[in-house]
Structure 1
């Protein structure tokens, strides 16, 4: 293998690094998966939720622990 062209995963910049996103209903089910994927790809994300402050807070803590950034926004 030619090591000069081989890149380790630690050397790869996430494809959404430095970008922001907004997701609706991000604290549960599909919305949560979307938030997690965007954060994993390097985006900083704000996500809304109608209820369930604890699941939203858990997601915020999880993304911070993983080195990402996600902020819950409660819609009334």
Structure 2
């Protein structure tokens, strides 16, 4: 697998927390940053996929009412719209 060097700025509080994690676990900053970035990218791609599927459903007229959507989510009451 090819690797690419990324450079970015992070606030000092975040960097200090990363330092603590790395020193406590004995694993490199790179290890922890790769794990964090992998999780973030995976979650964001899943969100984008869900949005794309929702748009396809909406374009096909496959919609449900807000009441049914809230009921599916288990939300009760009238103050959620």
Q: With structure 1 as the length reference, what TM-score do the two structures score?
A: 0.24
TM-score, with normalisation over the residues of structure 2? 0.23
Q: Indicate the structure whose relative CO is greater, using CA pairs within 8 Å and at least 6 residues apart.
A: 1
Q: Kindly indicate which of the two structures has a greater share of residues assigned to helix.
A: 2
